[in-house]
Amino acid sequence: MPPLAERDVFAPAAPGTMLLGLIGSGIAGSRTPAMHVAEAAAQGFASEYRRIDLDVLGLGVEALPQLLDHAQAAGYRGLNITYPAKQAVIPLLDALSDVARALGAVNTVVFEAGRRMGHNTDASGFAAGFRLQLPGAAMGQVVQIGAGGAGAAVAHAVLSMGAAQLTIFDMDDTRAAGLAANLNAHFGPGRAVAGAALGPAIAAAHGLVHATPMGMAKHPGLPLPAALLRADLWVAEVVYVPIDTALLQAARAQGARVADGGGMAVYQAADAFRHFTGREPDAARMRQGFLAAISHPGLT
């Protein structure tokens, strides 16, 4: 096996081609590459978008320093960052946007003039997708499952959209409490709390947000007992491969309104495109490309 620096993902791009990539675990099904390449072509320039899959390379997040070094040396314009690296990448960057700093998570890294700038487009992406799919949803009491990198961004979006209180659950109670404290420092005391018992919290909630990898091919299943779902509880998902997760199927079976993770996937990509290129993306066109890719799994 060739040294890491000599792997295909770090080969130089053709002259005049903007080189982008995605670092994460189990990202073979990501539709982000297709959206970026198609939007670049529609705007009249060439781009190449590569998957730097930790699983394929046999690496963990401890390899992030080398991966960023090699990507920068290979001429990458930027990288998207996904699970499990959104927080681990922060110490490797030169600067953060205000949003990324507030969230403590980065999903977009731009290389410019030898520096690494970290952004987060997950919060704005989730909010745009949510408004599109769940217009008029009640935003009183909301429960969120997941307090990781994506969870921090989604929680920020939920409170920004006017939720009176967000109750956060995570397998790591300390992480849930830490996210709640961070949110309260930004939005005001009491706006977020770490949950104690999921059943009662769901029973009192208007909506449920799911922000863990559960439901992906590598992590099948439901993040909570299906019996807790009900018709008057809206459910918003972050996972988008598959687009119709087990959670959404179970919620829909109860008559609940749902929002799939595709909305967040499209709008976070549109915002990332803007950071990478300095050009205004056509989000509607990118959404069409995303839906085409989802409809034709062979597309990448």
Strands 141-145 and 192-194: unpaired
Q: Determine the Cα–Cα distance for residues 43 and 122; give it in Å rounded to an integer.
A: 23
Catalytic residue among 86, 116, 119, 257: 86
218 in active site: no
CB atoms within 10 A of CB 117: 19
**32-42 and 262-277 are packed helices; what angle lies between their axes, rounded to 10 degrees?**
50
DSSP 12: P
Instruction: Please report which helix (H) or strand (E) contains residue 141, including its range.
Output: strand 141-145
CA distance 88 to 25: 13
205 closest CA partner among 171, 167, 241, 172: 167
Which candidate, 208, 199, 262, places its Cα nearest to that of 231? 208
Question: What angle is formed at CA 46 by the lines to CA 40 and CA 49, rounded to 5 degrees?
Answer: 75
Q: Report DSSP letters for 200-228, one per residue.
A: HHHHT-SEEEE-SSBTBTTS-S-SS-GGG
Q: CA 87, 93, 98 angle in degrees (round to 5)? A: 75
Cβ neighbors of 121 (< 8 A, separation 6 or more) are 107, 108, 267, 268, 269, 271, 272, 275
Q: Which of 32, 23, 77, 18 has its CA nearest to residue 51?
A: 23
Catalytic residues: 86
